[in-house]
Structure 1
Amino acid sequence: MSSNGGSPNRSKRSWRKSLEGRAATFAFKLLCSVFARLNARQADRLGERLGRLIHRLSKKYRERTRANLAMAMPELSDAERARIAQGVFEHFGRVGADLLRTPSRSNEEVVEDIAEIKGDHESLLAYQGGVILISAHFGNWERLCQYLTILQKPVAVVARDPNQPEIAEGLARLRANTGVKVLPRGNAAREILRALKAGEWVGILPDQNDDEVFVPFFGKMVGTVMGPGVMHVRTGAPIYVAYQWRRDDGKFVLEVEGPIQPSPTRENPAEGIMVALNESLERMVRQHPEQWLWLHDRWKSARKRGLL
């Protein structure tokens, strides 16, 4: 027992966490400085290489990515899953690099890099009133927000802040450069309601683990938030889904679906919305599996509940 009543192990964990936080903050600031000086092609190549390096060094996330792929797509061979897993890290290395060079990324670049627009894009832009815009940690969602701002359709995005305050502030500044307002995930409900009632757009990425409701995803039950469905029922605001995914040539395709209707598989319309949203995301991820965040523990709550 230490003299101040705390355990040595707890003090050691606290010290390690503090050190990791300071290291992460230093790395973030350094990378911001580096990528802000690079052009798009240079940043893209360096981001891809960093992603490949992290794939090699991070056994935890490499194994989680492959395990998630094995569970969701058992029809793939080990070699195919290994290839996709490395592609995931390379892709998110590029996404991170692109985000960090936001100050030097012009509106013209963002618009010109969209090579194709599919789906209900015109319906979305024509709607007058509050919209719940759903995307995912897929493709390049950060550019999607900037594109909408360019079209005079700014989106207030619900996001979870990193544990390091300086990194959270840095990310908020980067996003503010594109006209995007960030709503902290923990207490965003009131701000979302206010924004929707004022006719504004709210962006939500509900593709990370939660335990509010369990819905099918890749043939397994997965825990997800209820927020988008609940907000739709309470306000009547339509839900649209938008994905901006990357082609092999580095250009992007923007796909829009909506307004989304509740799945008839659930009596509760809010739950039905969440079923429909996960069905939409699954269709997109199956087409471009290397562009979704497989390294996240998406099935954590379902596993704890014995649903897998």
Structure 2
Amino acid sequence: MAQTTQTKAPTLRDRLGNGAFRAVMALALALPYRWRVPLTGWAVAYLVAPLAGYRDRVRDNLAQIRPDLPRAEVERLARAVPDNVGRTIAEIYSGEEFIDRVRSIPLEGPGAPALQAAQAAGRPVILATGHFGNYDVARAALIARGYRVGGLYKPMANPLFDAHYVQAISRIGTPLFPRGPKGLAEMVRFLKSGGMLGIVVDQHMGHGAPLTFFGVRAQTATSAAELALRYDAALIPIYGIRQPNGLDFRIHVEAPIPPGAPETMTQALNDSLESLVRAHMDQWFWIHRRWKAARR
């Protein structure tokens, strides 16, 4: 298991927040999976989100990005987005039960043949996704059917939370590589050996390129494209789309992004995710501060 890069001592706020989360998850994990997932979604949407300010952040982002939405739809999304976040957390912490739920989902979409061909040829692949649906569905399903898939992750600010979060995503599969110098060498060796690397590409990065998302400036890391170019890896967008019953998923694989300038390739990733979000507005994590640069 990849080691976390966190070194700071936990604060009192860290301890209180982590303790509350662990208590809620202990109760949730005592329930059957089919109840655990929707009840955790409800708890996050109606108990956590109002206190944490998630609903206000959803409203603020939508006011900036989709001011055309009717107020009733904004309020629906202010509840539905945290619900999806809560369901995702419950699924990731469910380990084998989650894996069993997703292992047999077929790969669909124009990029599925390219992904399967890369697996057969032992060619490295960068699997680019976003905080959409459940971002670990594809990794879990591919590992369960024998694909060598690693994951690049950003350590959490709360070191106590980070420790058990890494354990949870490790139960889905390894290797995992923390962002930064500590995980870079292992990640490069893994790619060179023909591994597939999952990267979430839709968070604000202050040092990233000034690209657009929903037509608004959004600083975006170009590392996925740069890795693909440097190690002759296929760059393939992939998503786990939550289905109407709230428990099942489709795995949609888009066509590989053609090689080119890293900024051009990364903008294509942004456009790919944007198209999917527009079709499923309640499945993207609108709680993120994605447009910090535009606000400044």
TM-score range with shorter-chain normalisation? 0.7 to 0.9
Q: Distance in 2 between matches of 1:118 and 1:31?
A: 37
Q: Distance in 2 between matches of 1:154 and 1:35?
A: 30
Q: Distance in 2 between matches of 1:35 and 1:180?
A: 25
Note if 1:261 corresponds to 2:254. no
| 1:278 alignment counterpart | 270
- What SS is found at the alignment partner of 1:284? helix
Please report how far the alpha carbon of residue 116 of structure 1 lies from its aligned counterpart in structure 2 after TM superposition.
7.4
Q: Which has the larger radius of gyration?
A: 1
| 2:114 alignment counterpart | 123
Question: TM-score, normalization: structure 1?
Answer: 0.85
Counterparts of 1:167-246 in structure 2 under 5 Å?
167-187=161-181, 188-211=183-206, 212-246=208-242
| 1:108 alignment counterpart | 100
Question: In the superposition, relative to structure 1, how do residues 96 and 41 fare at CA in structure 2: closer, same or farther (>3 Å)?
Answer: same
Say if 1:36 and 1:102, in contact at 8 Å, map to a contact too.
no
Q: Distance in 2 between matches of 1:45 and 1:107?
A: 17
- Runs of 5+ in structure 1 lacking a partner? 1-13, 263-267
Count of residues in correspondence between the two structures = 282
Question: In the superposition, relative to structure 1, how do residues 120 and 54 fare at CA in structure 2: closer, same or farther (>3 Å)?
Answer: same
Q: Deviations over 1:250-276 (max 9, x none)?
A: 3211100121125xxxxx711111110
Say if 2:125 and 2:228, in contact at 8 Å, map to a contact too.
no
Say if 1:134 and 1:205, in contact at 8 Å, map to a contact too.
yes
Question: TM-score, normalization: structure 2?
Answer: 0.88
| 1:11 alignment counterpart | none
- What RMSD over aligned residues (CA atoms) do the two structures have, in Å? 2.2
Q: Deviations over 1:68-90 (max 9, x none)?
A: 11222222112211111211011
Stretch deviating more after TM superposition (216-225 or 229-238)? 229-238
Say if 1:139 and 1:244, in contact at 8 Å, map to a contact too.
yes
Runs of 4+ in 1 over 6 A off after TM superposition: none
Please report how far the alpha carbon of residue 33 of structure 1 lies from its aligned counterpart in structure 2 after TM superposition.
2.5
Q: Which amino acid aligns with 2:231?
A: T
Say if 1:214 and 1:221, in contact at 8 Å, map to a contact too.
yes
| 1:163 alignment counterpart | 157
Q: Distance in 2 between matches of 1:115 and 1:234?
A: 30
Please report how far the alpha carbon of residue 231 of structure 1 lies from its aligned counterpart in structure 2 after TM superposition.
1.1
